């Protein structure tokens, strides 16, 4: 029934839920206190490594030790700047809400909790008709989350890159592979998870599995946080088959049984929920080969090797001049348009048509 390998292995009696993607991803800040070697940085250059630079080419490496893995080929033409919770941001949210029916903003970075006005951004977004969620590494949650909770933050996805200081240090730039530094970051993350739970924020723990060597991290994560935290395993875009094979091995080790498939029309991301023998729940997030009906069809990366994310959804950025940009692919940042251009563009119309067609096809497959 489905082409994706993970779905082909799911029994036909497992319930399938289909919904529509109505999430706008907003890069609120570029700053981050980690230097993860696999970071795509939402497709944008690392601003700290390009001080004063206004035009391409942007530096792909610098003193920060951070990376943006697609920068060398994605055609990025601007540096991102922090979102300001002002009338121009409200207008951008309203324009995209009206054009595409968005009702959730998912705040990303960089590290969103480093934004000094994150709670005000959440308040403004909610006033514009959106719910708000955030992806965070937890490094600044103790200072940021209480005010965010009062502003109405719905849930937080905590990205966990290491369950021990050795693991976290291993995936950092070689200049910053300090166990002491990694221990500090992990302690801050654990404090943020406990705090978010106590504040009534929905908590999810995301962990990427590049290959078999990372499987023990998931076992430790389940022991430490589940069932009070929803644990989600993500496949690695950069590692392809090795990541998929490792996830399969993990599920076998855990004797995981599929419980529900959640297909989201209009985005390449989908989820399969599993139940473990002890009753714990594990969610695995996959990427399926969804493409925009026109833009992606003409793209030279549109093949099973080069296109790693597919069409994942709409992203909003603000540049150093205060202009808001809309992107549809972190591997093709040259496709970005200003909000005003985007809402009247063929690309926006393609997003609508792709979502509607994908919804019809998924509903037909699962009928």
* Res 194: pLDDT: 93
- Is there a domain that residue 83 lies in? yes
- Is there a domain that residue 338 lies in? yes
With beta carbons less than 8 A apart as the criterion, state whether 246 and 211 touch.
yes
Report residue 42 as tokens: 């939402």
Mean pLDDT of residues grouped by 10 in the chain (367 residues)? 61 89 98 94 96 85 93 96 98 98 98 98 98 97 98 96 88 91 94 95 91 89 81 83 91 94 94 93 91 93 90 97 97 98 97 96 86
Q: Which residues contact 145 (CB under 8 A, 6 or more apart)?
A: 113, 153, 156, 192, 195, 196, 199, 201
* Res 7: pLDDT: 67
- Is there a domain that residue 30 lies in? yes
Q: Which residues contact 54 (CB under 8 A, 6 or more apart)?
A: 79, 320
CATH number of the domain residue 357 falls in = 3.20.20
Task: Give SS3 for 213.
Answer: helix
* Res 366: pLDDT: 81
- Is there a domain that residue 132 lies in? yes
- Is there a domain that residue 222 lies in? no
| CA–CA separation, 321 and 160 (whole Å) | 33
With beta carbons less than 8 A apart as the criterion, state whether 232 and 283 touch.
yes
Beta bridge partners of 36: 172
| CA–CA separation, 261 and 185 (whole Å) | 34
Report residue 7 as tokens: 């779905």
* Res 12: pLDDT: 78
Q: Are strands 314-318 and 257-265 parallel, antiparallel or unpaired?
A: unpaired
Beta bridge partners of 208: 234
Q: Which of 45, 66, 37 is nearest to 333 (CA)?
A: 45
Q: Is the pTM of this model over 0.85?
A: yes
* Res 4: pLDDT: 62
- Is there a domain that residue 238 lies in? no
Report residue 167 as tokens: 């693991």
* Res 8: pLDDT: 65
- Which value, to the nearest 10 degrees, does the dihedral of the CA atoms of residues 20, 21, 23, 26 take? -170
Q: Which of 59, 60, 57 is nearest to 69 (CA)?
A: 60
- Is there a domain that residue 69 lies in? yes
- Is there a domain that residue 202 lies in? no
Number of structural domains the chain divides into? 1
Report residue 138 as tokens: 């937890």
Residues of the domain holding 32? 5-196+250-366
Q: b/e map of 134-153 (b: 16 or more CB within 10 Å)?
A: bbbbbbbbeebbbebbebbb
* Res 38: pLDDT: 87
């Amino acid at each position: 029934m489905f082409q994706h390998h993970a779905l082909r292995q799911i029994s036909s009696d497992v319930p399938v839920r289909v919904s529509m993607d109505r999430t706008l991803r907003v890069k609120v800040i570029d700053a981050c206190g980690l230097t993860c070697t696999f970071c795509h940085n939402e497709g944008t250059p690392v601003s700290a490594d390009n001080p004063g630079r206004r035009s391409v080419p942007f530096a792909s490496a610098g003193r920060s030790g951070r990376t943006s893995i697609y920068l060398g080929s994605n055609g990025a033409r601007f540096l991102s700047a922090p979102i300001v919770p002002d009338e121009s941001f409200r207008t951008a949210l309203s324009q995209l809400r009206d054009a595409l029916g968005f009702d959730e903003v998912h705040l990303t970075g960089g590290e969103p909790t480093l934004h000094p006005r994150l709670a005000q951004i959440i308040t403004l977004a909610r006033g514009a008709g959106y719910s708000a969620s955030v992806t965070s590494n937890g490094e600044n949650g103790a200072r940021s989350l209480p005010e965010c909770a009062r502003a109405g933050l719905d849930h937080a996805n905590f990205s966990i890159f290491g369950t021990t200081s050795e693991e976290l240090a291993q995936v950092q730039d070689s200049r910053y592979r300090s166990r002491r530094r990694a221990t500090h970051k992990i302690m801050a993350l654990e404090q943020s998870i406990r705090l978010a739970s106590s504040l009534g924020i929905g908590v999810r723990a995301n962990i990427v599995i590049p290959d078999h060597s990372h499987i023990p991290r998931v076992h430790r994560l389940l022991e430490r946080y589940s069932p009070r935290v929803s644990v989600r395993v993500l496949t690695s875009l950069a590692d392809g088959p090795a990541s998929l094979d490792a996830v399969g091995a993990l599920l076998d080790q855990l004797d995981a049984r599929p419980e529900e498939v959640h297909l989201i029309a209009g985005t390449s991301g989908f989820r399969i929920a599993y139940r473990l023998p002890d009753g714990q729940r594990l969610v695995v997030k996959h990427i399926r080969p969804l493409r925009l009906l026109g833009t992606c069809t003409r793209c030279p990366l549109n093949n099973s090797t080069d296109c790693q994310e597919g069409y994942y959804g709409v992203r909003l950025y603000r540049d150093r001049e205060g202009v808001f940009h809309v992107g549809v692919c972190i591997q093709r940042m040259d496709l970005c348009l200003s909000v005003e251009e985007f809402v009247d563009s063929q690309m926006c119309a393609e997003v609508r048509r792709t979502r509607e067609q994908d919804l019809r096809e998924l509903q037909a497959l699962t009928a």
